[in-house]
């Protein structure tokens, strides 16, 4: 399995900078557009559920579920960036993820932050 199977985040050439901080060194916020979010809900795959149940008896990482959650988070982040871009932003500050169970049928992942227009100092 490759590096992207168990990690994620933004690529180096994105036109929308996404950061977890409240500011970006060397930049100033020209305009605050407001909150943006990307949301996805994924159901659990029966095979991975059975495997996870068996694995939980002996311990260890649930690699199939880890990979699914990484894909889900990356999709939520992509949707966040699409929303920011569509509203004219070139940055998202205070980026966060929120993960919850969705009615016992899946996992809801929401990526959210504040869309802004940045300029270099």
**78 sits in which H/E element:** helix 63-86
Mean pLDDT by 10 residues, the chain (121 residues): 70 88 97 97 65 61 78 94 97 96 83 97 90
pTM of model > 0.85: no
Number of other CB atoms surrounding residue 96 within 10 Å: 10
d(CA 53, CA 55): 5
Rounding to the nearest 10 degrees, give the CA dihedral for residues 41, 38, 26, 33.
Answer: -160
Structural domains in the chain plus CATH codes: 3-120 (3.30.110.70)
Crossing angle of the two packed helices 46-58 and 63-86, in degrees rounded to 10? 130
CA distances to 4, 9, 33, 121 from 78, in Å: 15, 9, 18, 28
Q: DSSP for 10-77?
A: --TT-SSEE-SSSS-TTEEEEEEEEEEEEEEEEEPPHHHHHHHHHHHHH-S--HHHHHHHHHHHHHHH
- The pLDDT, as a whole number, for residue 69 is 83
Q: What Rg do the C-alpha atoms of the chain give, in angstroms? A: 17
- The pLDDT, as a whole number, for residue 3 is 63
- The pLDDT, as a whole number, for residue 49 is 55
């Amino acid at each position: 399995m490759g590096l992207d199977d168990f990690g994620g985040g933004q690529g180096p050439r994105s036109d929308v900078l996404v950061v977890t901080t409240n500011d970006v060194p060397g930049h100033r916020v020209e305009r605050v557009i407001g909150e943006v979010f990307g949301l996805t809900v994924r159901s659990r795959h029966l095979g991975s559920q059975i495997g996870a149940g068996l694995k939980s008896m002996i311990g260890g990482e649930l690699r199939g579920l880890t990979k699914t959650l990484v894909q889900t988070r990356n999709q939520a982040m992509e949707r966040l960036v699409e929303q920011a871009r569509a509203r004219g932003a070139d940055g998202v500050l205070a980026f966060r993820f929120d993960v919850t169970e969705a009615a016992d049928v899946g996992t809801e992942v929401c990526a959210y932050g504040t869309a802004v227009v940045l300029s270099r100092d």
